[in-house]
A = this chain, B = another copy of it.
Amino acid sequence: MAKNNFQKAKGVKDWYRKDSILRNRIKNTLRNVFERYGYNPIETPMIERTDVLGYKGGGEIQKEVFSVIDQGGRKLALRFDQTVPLARFYSTNNDIRLPFKRYVIGEVFRDGPTQPEQGRYRIFTQCDIDILGVKEMTAEAELLSLAKDAFYELGLGDVEVNINNRKLLDGILDYAGIKESAKNPAIVALDKMDKIGIEGVRDELENLSRDVNGADLTKDNINRLMETIRLKGTNDYLFNELSRIIESERGKEGLKEIKQLLDYSKAMDLDFVKLNPSLARGLDYYTGTTIEVYLKNKDIVKSAILAGGRYDNMVGEFKGDGKEVPAVGMSFGLERLAMIIDNYEKDLPQTTTELYLIPLKTTDECLKIARELRSKGLNIDIELRENRKIGKSINYAESQGINYVGIIGQDEIKKGTVMIKDLRKSEQEEVKLEAIIGYVKAKINK
**Chain A residues in contact with chain B, CB under 8 A?**
1-4, 6-10, 12-17, 20-21, 23-24, 31, 35-38, 40-49, 51-52, 55, 63-64, 66-72, 74, 76, 78, 88-89, 91-93, 97, 99, 101-102, 107, 109, 111, 122-123, 131, 133-136, 138-139, 141-142, 145, 149, 263-264, 267-269, 318-322, 351-353, 356, 363-365, 367-368, 370-371, 374-375, 377-382, 384-386, 396, 399-400
Q: A374 and B36 in contact (CB under 8 A), knowing A139-B384, A319-B4?
A: yes
State the majority secondary structure of interface residues on A.
mixed
Given A6-B55, A6-B92, A20-B43, 16 new contacts (CB under 8 A): A1-B321, A4-B318, A6-B318, A8-B48, A8-B88, A9-B74, A14-B42, A14-B93, A16-B42, A37-B379, A37-B381, A46-B123, A47-B122, A69-B69, A97-B396, A267-B365
Residues of B with C-beta under 8 A to A71: 63-64, 111
Q: A379 and B36 in contact (CB under 8 A), knowing A4-B319, A24-B31?
A: yes
A21 to B318, CA, bound (A): 27
A267 to B370, CA, bound (A): 12
A377: nearest chain-B partner, CB-CB: B36
Please tell me how many copies of the chain the complex holds: 2
Residues of B with C-beta under 8 A to A386: 136, 138
Q: Smallest distance from the beta carbon of A259 to chain B beta carbons, Å?
A: 13
Residues of B with C-beta under 8 A to A134: 384-385
Q: A45 and B379 in contact (CB under 8 A), knowing A6-B55, A6-B318, A111-B70?
A: no
Q: A49 and B382 in contact (CB under 8 A), knowing A149-B374, A367-B138?
A: no
Question: Do B46 and A107 touch across chains, with their CB atoms under 8 A apart?
Answer: yes
Question: Do A21 and B41 touch across chains, with their CB atoms under 8 A apart?
Answer: yes
> Could you jot down 6 A-B contacts, CB within 8 Å?
A8-B48, A10-B70, A36-B380, A134-B385, A149-B375, A267-B367
- Among all A-B residue pairs, the 10 with the closest Cβ atoms: A38-B381, A4-B320, A12-B45, A267-B364, A138-B384, A16-B42, A15-B43, A20-B41, A35-B352, A36-B374
A55 to B4, CA, bound (A): 10
A359 to B285, CA, bound (A): 31
A265: nearest chain-B partner, CB-CB: B367
A107 to B101, CA, bound (A): 24
Q: A7 and B40 in contact (CB under 8 A), knowing A35-B352, A68-B67?
A: no
Q: B89, B111, B351, B368: which contacts A14 (Cβ < 8 A)?
A: B89
Residues of B with C-beta under 8 A to A41: 16, 20-21, 23-24, 352
A26 to B41, CA, bound (A): 14
Q: Smallest distance from the beta carbon of A333 to chain B beta carbons, Å?
A: 15
